[in-house]
Amino acid sequence: MSPGHEAESAATADLGFARLDLDRARRQGAPEVVFGPGKSAEQITAIVGELLQREGRPVMVTRVEPDAVVPALEAHEGGEYVVGARLAVWGRAEIAADVAHVPRITVVSAGTADAAVASEAAEVARALGAVVDRIDDVGVAGVHRVLEVSDRLTAADVVVVVAGMEGALASVVGGLVEGPVVAVPTSVGYGAAFDGMAALLGMLTSCAAGVVVVNIDSGFGAAMAAFRLARAARRLAAR
């Protein structure tokens, strides 16, 4: 076998420019998700096709501009593009059908400017089969706004908190609810917000014990974490 194109194993598809992990759905319950930046429209179209054929739905492309994903949406039926979230999704419902206890995830954001990240979190979670409740613009500078929605927060199996600037919402919510809290710092803010650094450090050092953190602006990461947590809770509950 010449270097560069060995025989594909069952677990990997070698497209030349990409090596897809075809074992992901078996191993982790959902297919590989495609990271959009740096991929051409042709590459995205090919990868999506391969994943749809081999792994089943949902197939997702994250952080993708419309131009780069329109060809894939035209080539492969059943996909849709969520503008604010810069997310393309094929086949939201399939995993949900397989879910005995559908997880309830609340995505709460601190400001209207955090909407794009909150939207990515919510849409990825929905694609993975969750029931999502989304609450926007709950800033701690008017803490009564948090308390007003505390029922919706405590009702969730997992709460995803999306906040930029100082990210204090994670601490307040982390102290109100008993279930898992996944905090997403956003790059919203200016000056000393340092593109999300202030919120990131604030969430990592939150005085609310057990709050966990994902990368800046990673609504996707939060949704995946929530999905991992919900699966684990289902498994524990079923014992």
Phi then psi dihedrals of residue 14, to 5 deg: -95, 105
Which one of residues 55, 63, 121, 219 is an interface residue with a copy of itself (CB under 8 A)? Answer: 63
Distance in Å, CB of 138 to a copy of itself, minimum: 6
Residues 110-169 within binding reach of a copy of itself (CB under 8 A)? 110-116, 133-149, 152, 155, 157-158, 165-168
Rounded to whole angstroms, how far apart are CA atoms 37 and 154?
A: 36
Q: How many residues bind a copy of itself (CB under 8 A)?
A: 121
Mapped onto helix, strand or coil, the DSSP state of residue 159 is strand
Shortest spacing between CB 214 and a copy of itself, in angstroms? 6
Nearer to a copy of itself, 77 or 185 (CB): 185
Please state the closest distance from residue 56 (CB atom) to a copy of itself, in A.
Answer: 16
Q: Exactly one of 69, 85, 121, 224 binds a copy of itself (CB under 8 A); which one?
A: 224
Q: Cα–Cα distance between 173 and 109 in angstroms, integer? A: 11
**Considering the rule CB under 8 A, would residue 3 count as an interface residue with a copy of itself?**
yes
Of residues 10 through 39, those in contact with a copy of itself by CB under 8 A are 11-12, 16-21, 23-24, 27-29, 32-33, 35, 37-39
Whole-number minimum distance, CB 20 to a copy of itself, in Å? 8
Could you give the 3-state DSSP secondary structure of residue 165?
coil
CA 208 to chain centre: 23
In one-letter notation, the amino acid at residue 98 is D
Rounded Cα gap, residues 99 and 94, in angstroms: 9
HSE-up (13 A, CA, CB side) for residue 158: 28
Q: Which is nearer to a copy of itself, 77 or 101 (CB)?
A: 101
Q: How far apart are CA 98 and CA 101, in angstroms?
A: 9
- Parallel, antiparallel, or unpaired: how do β-strands 59-62 and 104-109 relate? unpaired
Output the smallest distance, CB 160 to a copy of itself, in A: 11
Instruction: Determine the Cα–Cα distance for residues 159 and 62; give it in Å rounded to an integer.
Output: 21
Binding part of the chain for a copy of itself, among 64-72, 74-82, 90-98, 218-226 by CB under 8 A, reads 218-226
Choice between 97 and 236, CB closer to a copy of itself: 236
82 near a copy of itself (CB under 8 A): no
Quick check: 42 binds a copy of itself (CB under 8 A)? no
Question: Which are the contacts of 171, defined by CB distance < 8 A and separation ≥ 6?
Answer: 202, 206, 207, 208, 211
* Chosen residue from 120, 126, 218, 219 binding a copy of itself by CB under 8 A: 218
